[in-house]
Chain A
């Protein structure tokens, strides 16, 4: 089902770059927030849609597809961009993000958007639904995998840990949680809000296989995401070390760019940096 398996790493970098450019343009046109959160996951979604997920843009609801849930729904712009750049809908549609009457809401929506499995936006919902899908697909004997991308701040939500307990107890080896660990949340750094460390140990203690990766290295991401569960029957958690706002120097590692929208000179500067990259 996936025609892009053979993509060289440079193509994934190129896809990530397209996603970044679209994200900055979309948040500019929509005067919307969360550009930093979306840039943070650009490489992760590029690797997922460009190489890992067995999905078919021509038949987005094909039951054999892998499932991907963006639990950090506020970064929906990155997923919309990935879907458009891999052929799920026209790239031109991205310009409607955040606009009056648009189907592309700020938080990712499945309504009328081909390729989106689940609408999210309130944090701590995606992993539980992904667990249900993984359980269901296991019961049906399917080969599909279920991926769920969470933010680090989102891990404050207790519902994730309910889901983590269940997934390990029920040996959902078809489930992969991916965490965008950029160490910055809405108002402050993660460590100054509700520290998550030792983060790897937490997931491991819950019974998950845990791997860490550079969340901006497409080849490294592909290496950890592509192979099915490494050991035994445990679900897998991939903690991706990322930089919030990655790709635009003045947005990087900045709490400000969780909510600030790129306008005027800042927009020009951001696009200039991306064009030069």
Chain B
């Protein structure tokens, strides 16, 4: 997904001199092609995320379309107030790219696990939050971020869900991939793959489980969420992220305002830090958000 994002930005930057990519001294190898082809539109800010972000706001105020690039929590939480005050309050076209969504960098340890980013970015007014499940979606996400004349956040996952490209994708809306009236699994990001496996397993066990996907967490397609909530017996959110404030939180906000909504089960990282080391798959299993864990939790609930 990461390579698709950079390739798309490269293509667009070649056509539009207003596009600037600023990295916080990360992206070894990944950014090579961009650096070669768009040398004048590339800046390495050094290991200095606060300045990277403030500077991005300054450049955007002068009419540039700026991407900031770094790993996991560095371009988001490390410089959160620069994002809030300089970027979002001034409503400028700065788009934060974070590689390593969720447990993408699992073996690197807790500092490199992005498990509160969706929640915190979503809380900022004016911010658009996009978390694709597949590389082809991330290409459209880049286009959407540029087209939106305001701040954006793109969570770049190492895993992907393996969904076929849609001819005319609508990343803004909730995507219904499989219908189901007993349970609706709503996933975000590459972990959506676990939802498909879980749904298959549940259907084999006589539970009519469907799969829906949220790519744009903010602004959320609340009408579709409300419709799903009125249409099934149990809503389940699945995210490689804390269950506090991310997809689970966003869906909870929607259904809590509906009179006869289905109950909600939030699957994700319980309100804790991920101190165990391992691959993305291993950590999904350990922190009980893989397909088997989803099935187990759903069966316990219905």
Contact = CB atoms under 8 A, between A and B. Distances in A.
Contact of B58 (A124, A128, A158, A162): A128
A135 interface: yes
A129 B55 contact: yes
Interface string B35-56: 0000010010110101101111
B64 A136 contact: yes
Contact of A125 (B60, B61, B64, B85): B85
B82 interface: yes
A187 B119 CA distance: 35
Contacts of B54: 125, 127-129, 131-132, 159, 163
Given A122-B85, A125-B85, A158 B59 contact: no
B89 interface: yes
A3 interface: no
B59 A162 contact: no
B297 interface: no
A142 to B, nearest CB: 9
A132 B48 contact: no
B62 A140 contact: yes
A166 B64 contact: no
B50 A158 contact: yes
Given A165-B46, A166-B48, A132 B82 contact: no
Contacts of B90: 110, 118-119
Contact of A166 (B45, B60, B63, B89): B45
A159 B62 contact: no
Interface in A131-169: 131-137, 139-140, 158-159, 162-163, 165-166
Interface residues of A, number: 28
Contact of A137 (B48, B53, B62, B89): B62
Contacts of A165: 46, 48, 51
A117 interface: yes
Contacts of A133: 58-59, 61-62
B157 interface: no
Most-contacted residue by chain B among A119, A128, A131, A137 (CB, 10 A): A128
Contact of A159 (B43, B51, B61, B63): B51
Contact of B55 (A121, A124, A135): A135
A35 interface: no
A130 interface: yes
Interface of B: 40, 43, 45-46, 48, 50-51, 53-64, 81-82, 85-86, 89-90
Given A125-B86, A135-B59, 14 more contacts: A125-B85, A128-B53, A128-B54, A132-B56, A132-B59, A132-B60, A136-B63, A139-B40, A140-B62, A159-B50, A162-B46, A162-B48, A165-B46, A166-B55
Interface of A: 110, 117-122, 124-125, 127-137, 139-140, 158-159, 162-163, 165-166
